[in-house]
Amino acid sequence: MGILDSYKDLINASFGKWIKVEDNQSKWTIEDFPYNTGVDEDITKPHCWKCVTVNKCWFKNEENKKPKRFDYTIFSSRELLKIIRGLYHPKCHCKEFALNSPNLNDINFIFIDGKVQYFFLDKLNWYYSWGYRDEDKEDFIKMIKELVKESFVKGNYEIEKHTKYGVAINVFITIPGKNEKYGRFYDTWSCYTIFPNGKLKLNTVIGGK
């Protein structure tokens, strides 16, 4: 790829509604590591956890919806002359590429059964308060998946934190009441980690009320 091609990618990404972050010098992504340990930099060297966790991931091209860039204002003008600037740190190889806005079929889930079971143990009173009953549990989880897909592709989410475990996000959804609560709506959020190529790994079914 020539210099002109690099500038073209940069310009396209700047104006794109969605971006894909990619490091073409690294084979590592967050998928290569266990959920409970996150990225092991002893394995990925010289690639840091910050870059590995976003490699091949999709983000809405807006503030607080994509990883924060490195703040080069901490350096003096003289120091900046010696620094090769990258997205997330000096000498970083990651680049933002323009991405077509995803649709519902582009989004896939990594749903861990234990997380779902925990919701029905820890927050069952919330579930009942929205009018749902024990026999509705399977349909409720299917509905949450659809609501999350719809919100995510609209960019209706925010980054909660970016750690070696990945980019954790809160996806804002509105749950319709059922049975005696039919006609009422409840604003809440569902929590995920962004994984490569449109995958969302469940962290918490419902994060709050």
Q: How many angstroms separate the CA atoms of 190 and 4, rounded?
A: 41
Tens place of pLDDT per residue across the chain (209 aa): 544 454 455 545 555 799 999 999 999 999 999 999 999 999 999 999 999 999 999 999 999 999 999 999 898 888 888 888 999 999 999 999 999 999 999 999 999 889 999 999 999 999 999 999 999 999 999 999 999 999 999 999 999 999 999 999 999 999 999 999 999 999 999 999 999 999 999 999 999 87
6-23 residue pLDDT tens: 445 554 555 579 999 999
**Which residues have C-beta within 8 Å of that of residue 96, sequence separation ≥ 6?**
10, 13, 19, 20, 21, 61, 66, 87
Among 197, 199, 144, 153, which Cα is nearest to 175's? 144
- Tokens 């870059």 map to which residue? 51
Q: pLDDT tens digits for 159-189?
A: 999 999 999 999 999 999 999 999 999 999 9
pLDDT score of 14 = 59
Global model pTM greater than 0.75: yes
Q: Which residues pair with 201 in a beta bridge?
A: 110, 193
The answer to whether residues 190 and 207 touch, using CB atoms and an 8 Å cutoff, is yes
